[in-house]
Every structure is written in C-alpha cells, then in structure tokens.
Amino acid sequence: MQPIVYVVAGLTLILGLVIGFFISRAQSEKARREQRESADKIVSSAREQAKTIELQARDAALKITQSAEAEINRLRSELNHEEERLQKRRAEVDGRVEKLEQREQAVNKRQSAADKRANEIEKLHEQQVQELQRVAQLSVAEARTILLGEVEKEARGDMARIIRQIEAEAREEGEKRARKLIVDSIQRVASDQVVEVTTSLVPLPNEEMKGRIVGRNGRNIRAFEQAAGVDVIVDDTPEAVTISCFDPVRREIARRTLARLILDGRIHPGHIEKVLEDEQKAIEKIIVEAGEQATFDAGVAGIHPEIMRMMGRLKFRTSYGQNQLAHAVEVSKLSGILAAELGANVDIARAGGFLHDLGKAMDHNQEGTHAGLGAEFARRYGVNPQVVNAIAAHHHEVEQESLEAVITEAADAISGARPGARREDLEAYIKRIKTLEDMANSFKGVSQAYAIQAGREVRIIVRPEEIDDLEAARLARDIAKKIEETMQYPGQIRVTVIRETRAVEMAK
C-alpha cells in the first residue's frame, strides 16, 4: 500500500512542476511583449523629437548663415572704403617723396656751392693771417700771449677797482650794523668781569711752617706731592709756598688741602691723604654746583648732568686771565642776543655759545684740539647736531653748517676781545708783534711793516714803483687773509697798506 502512495505523490509533484513551468513561461512572454511595446513607443517619441530638433536647428543655421552673409557684406564694404582711402594716401605720399627728392637735390647743389665758397674764404683767411703776421712781425701764438696779457692786466685792474668799491660799501654798511649789534649785546649782558687767575701761592703764618711742610728728610713734601700729583716749591718767598701743576683742578685741590693742613697743624703722610680725599670730594661738589649754576645763568635747558659737571671744571680754567666758565656764560648770553636780532634759533645759539669751550675742561689730558674734543664729548651725550657743529666750527676746524655756528664764533670773539676781558704776558705779546711784522715783510713789494696799537693794527709801507694803487688794495686783502689762516689772536687786526710817491727837485 505504501509504494502506491509514493508513486502517486511523485506523479503529483511532477505534474505540478510541469504546470508551473508552463505558467511561468506564459507570464514571461507577456512581460516581454509589454516591454517591446514600451520600447517601440519610446523610439517613436524620440524620432518625433529628433525631427522637431532637426527642424529648429535648420532654422537657426539658416538665420546664422544669413547674419554671417550680412556681416561679410558690411566688412567687404568697409574694406573697399579703406582701400580707397589708402590709395589716396599712397598717392599723396608719393607726391611728397617726389617733392623731397627735388628739394634734396637743390640742397645738395647749395651745399656744394657753400663748401666751395667756404674753401675760398678759408684760403683768403690764411692769406690775411700770413699778411698780418708779416706786417706785425708776430706769430699767432705771440699775438695771443700779448693780447691775453693786456686783457688780464685790464681785467685785474677792473677787478681790483670793483672789489675795492664793493668792500668799501660793504664795510661802511656792515660796520654800522655790526657795531650796533655788538654794542647792544655787550650793554644788555652788562656783566662785571673780574679777571680771575687760579693762584698757586699758599700763604703761611710764619717761616717755621716751611720746615713742617717739608718734614724730616723731605718725607711730608714727598708724600704730599705724590698724593696730590703736584709740585710744591719752597723757595725764598717770604711766608708763602708755590704749588705748580698743569691741571687747574688738581692744583686747586692741592692748594685747599695744604691750606687746611697748615690751619690744622697736623702735617704727616697719613693725615695728608685723609685731608686730600676730603678736599677732592669738596671740589667735586663745587664743580657740580658751578656747572648747574652756570647752566641756569646761561639759560640753557636740557643739558646732560655729565656735561654740566664737565662745564663746572672750567671754573678753575683761565685763558689770558679770563675765567672760562664766566666766559662761557657770557658767550651764551651774547649768542642769544645776536640770534634774536638776526632771526636765528635762540636756543641753539645759546647752547652753542655755552658749550663752545667744553673741550678746554679735558684737553690737558687728551689729544686733539679743544673744539674737536668738546664736539665729540657733546655728541656722545646726545647734544643737538647743530650745537655740536657750532662747538666744532667756532675756530674753523670744520665747515660751519648754520647761522647759529657763525653767531657762536662772533659771540666768542666779542667776549674775548672787549676791553679788559683778557690779558697777555709780555713774551707772548712780543712774539705776536714780531710774527705780524715778519709776515707782512714776507710779501713782495713791502718796504717796511710796523705792528701798532698793541698788535691790533699792522701798517705796511710799500715801494711805489712795484705796487700801484690797485695792487695795494689786493695786497692788504692777501695779508689779512694770511693772518687769519696762520695766527691766533683775540678780536681783530687792521691791515693798512700805505703807498707814497714823492717828487724832489733841487733849486740851484
């Protein structure tokens, strides 16, 4: 019974599979027909759209073709017009070229004629020159030399005459103006200058004190000289000893120390060093206070403390008997007055006048001029460059770059040259007088020279047969210039040249 059941089930399964196969095949055929119909519809629709696009493209291409043909026609018309215009211009240019060629031919003919005439003129000129040389019995070079000599002589005479006239006019007007400025400046400063000389003479209460200063076997004086850096001269001067040193500050410290030791009475090496140290501190304080007070008196602001301290050292420095710190204050005031009158910068002029001799506080132990040393020191501490130039240029060691520098130089000369400001020793005075006379005698044509008015004027007598009136004016200027370049002197020196002719006849 069971095998039959298995057979029936198997047949049933096979039958179901066959039926399912035919059903699936029928469905796939139906789907394939639907897809084919859909594809046919899409293809027909695409064909219709393609036809429409093709028609539109044909219309657009037709329009573009028509527009391009119109543009080509327009351009062709413009090209034709431009070609006609170029043809006209070419014809005009050809005409001009033809005219230029004709003109060039005419110019060449004229040039040939001109060259021929120039050659003829040159030959005539050579003949004339040769004839002139034969008549004058001089060559061209000799005639040129004589002519130039005459022209130079005449020009020199005219130049000397003009220079003398200009100098006379400038001197007349300049002296009035300068005299007014100088007098007004000196009167407005109105400073009572007392000639201060740093003395090196120390008074003693009695002659016995000299022995105590020298000490046993010279012990005290050697200790004092070594510690103070000075020389103590004990001579026959009654009740006084002399202190000698090139440094004025050191000499003042030694003088105060010795005076205090004499007053105290205790003179021995240990006490000397203690008193000397105290006096050094005291002098340093005096220097600082003197620099500050001088800066205040001069009316100069913004000065570095180190510069004020260095200026304070000038309290113990003199030049021809004139105290240098007081001189600096006076020059500062004079510079300010002159700057105000001339319309210059008053502050720069005052600062330049106040600091112009700054280098004199350090030139005893450094190489270089006091103007250069002072300018370098001021530059190191940030002083205005115009003020630095005024310091460096007040003795013409460098070029003066501003009006304030010139004012500083003028104020320095006014302060040093005014009556009673400075004095000069006999030896230096005689040497300066002799130098003036020798310098004047060194010029050609000078017969005699005399320095008069304490060296403020030099009168020169010339030989009249060698020096004429115009040459005399030039000689005076040359001598004055040489004095300015080679000598140092306070104030100014007048140069007077005297030319005298005499006619002598004897009555018999």
Name the burial class of residue 314, with classes exposed (0-12), middle (13-18) and buried (19+) by CB atoms within 10 angstroms of its CB. Answer: buried
| Token pair recorded at residue 476 | 């005076």
C-beta separation of 480 from 472 below 8 A: no
The least confident of 98-112, 149-163, 259-273, 484-498 is 149-163
Give the chain's count of helices (H) and strands (E): 14, 8
pLDDT > 70 fraction of the chain, expressed in percent and rounded? 88
Q: What's the predicted TM-score (pTM) here?
A: 0.49
C-beta separation of 300 from 378 below 8 A: no
The whole-number pLDDT of residue 198 equals 41
pLDDT higher than threshold 70 for residue 191: no
- pLDDT tens profile 120-129: 888 888 888 7
What value does the mean pLDDT take over residues 446-456?
84
Which of 176, 174, 193 is CA-nearest to residue 333?
193
Query: Whole-angstrom Cα distance, residue 450 to residue 468?
Result: 20
What value does the mean pLDDT take over residues 365-376?
81
What CATH number is given for 201-417 in this structure? 1.10.3210
Amino acid (1-letter code) at residue 109: K
Query: Whole-angstrom Cα distance, residue 335 to residue 183?
Result: 13
The residue extents of the domains of the chain are 138-187, 201-417, 426-499
Block residue for tokens 């006609």: 84
C-beta separation of 371 from 397 below 8 A: yes
pLDDT higher than threshold 60 for residue 49: yes
The whole-number pLDDT of residue 190 equals 44
**Domain 426-499 belongs to what topology?**
GMP Synthetase; Chain A, domain 3 (3.30.300)
| Token pair recorded at residue 395 | 């003795």
Residue 337 burial (CB count, 10 A): 25
Block residue for tokens 């720069």: 348
The whole-number pLDDT of residue 389 equals 92
